[in-house]
Amino acid sequence: MASASVGEEEHNNNNKLILYSYWRSSCSFRLRIALNVKGLKYEYRAVNLLKGEQTHPEFLQLNPIGFVPVLVDGPAVIFDSFAIIMFLEDKYPQHPLLPTDIHKRAINFQAASIVSSSIQPLHNLNLLQKYIEEKVGPDEKLPWVQGVIRKGFTALEKLLKEHSGRYATGDEIFMADIFLAPQLHSAYKRFNIPMNCTSF
C-alpha cells in the first residue's frame, strides 16, 4: 500500500476539518468540490441562509461578515472560498488544484476571479432580496441575474478558448473548474440560462 503524503499525514494527525456550508451556496459548492478532489474528509455543519442562521452570534464569531463557507482546521478558522481553497492547496498538496505551468496558473486565477468577483457577488441572496427586489422590483431580479451571468460567461469563454481541453484549462481538474462548475449549475438550474454559446 502506498504511503500517505505529507498533507494526508497532517490531516490524519490534526482535528477533523469542519465545514460550515449551505447546500445552495455556489461559494460553498466550490469548496465542497475542492475538498472532495483532494480526498479530504470533513464534518458538514449546515447554515441555513433562508432562516438567517448566518446572522446568529455563534456564527458571526467564526465569520464576522456573516457569509458561508467557513472552514475550521484545528486552530485555524478561514472564511472566503478563495482563501480557503488556497489554504487547502498550501497545506494539503495532494491532488493539486493549480497546474505547474505559470501561464496556466494565471489563467486559473483569472477564471476564478471572474466568477468570485464579477459574477457570483452580483446575484447573491442579500443583494437580490434587499436591493433588486425591494428597491427596483421583484420582476427585475431574473433579468438582472441573467445579464450579470451572461456578461461573465462571455468573458470566461474568451479567456479559456485557447486553453481548454477535457476541462477548462487542459485535461485535469484545476481551480478554474472548481469555480466554474457551481456557477454553471446555478445559471442553468436556478436562472434558466441555456448552456450554449449563442445564449451569451
pLDDT digits (tens, 9 = 90+) for 55-114: 999 999 999 999 999 999 999 999 999 999 999 999 999 999 999 999 999 999 999 999
pTM metric for this prediction:
0.83
Q: In what order do the strands lie in the sheet with 17-21?
A: 42-46, 17-21, 70-73, 76-79
Cell of 152: 461573465
Q: Evaluate if residue 198 carries a pLDDT over 60.
A: no
CA distances from 38 to 89, 92, 194 (A): 9, 8, 30
CATH homologous superfamily, domain 17-91: Glutaredoxin (3.40.30.10)
- pLDDT for the residue numbered 4: 39
- pLDDT for the residue numbered 10: 45
Cβ-proximal residues to 136 (8 Å cutoff; 6+ apart), any chain = 144
108, 156 Cβ separation under 8 angstroms: no
Over residues 104-133, the mean pLDDT reads 85
Q: Evaluate if residue 36 carries a pLDDT over 80.
A: yes
pLDDT bracket for residue 17 (50, 70, 90): very high
Name the least confident of 11-25, 122-136, 138-152. 122-136
Distance CA 123, CA 163 (A): 28
Distance CA 160, CA 71 (A): 30
What is the percentage of the chain residues whose pLDDT exceeds 90? 67
- pLDDT for the residue numbered 15: 62
Q: Evaluate if residue 8 carries a pLDDT over 60.
A: no
Domain boundaries, the chain: 17-91, 102-197
Q: What is the CATH number of domain 102-197?
A: 1.20.1050.10
- pLDDT for the residue numbered 14: 52
Equal fold, 17-91 vs 102-197:
no
Name the least confident of 52-66, 125-139, 163-177, 181-195. 125-139
Question: Pick from 157, 128, 130: which is nearest to 143 by CA?
Answer: 128
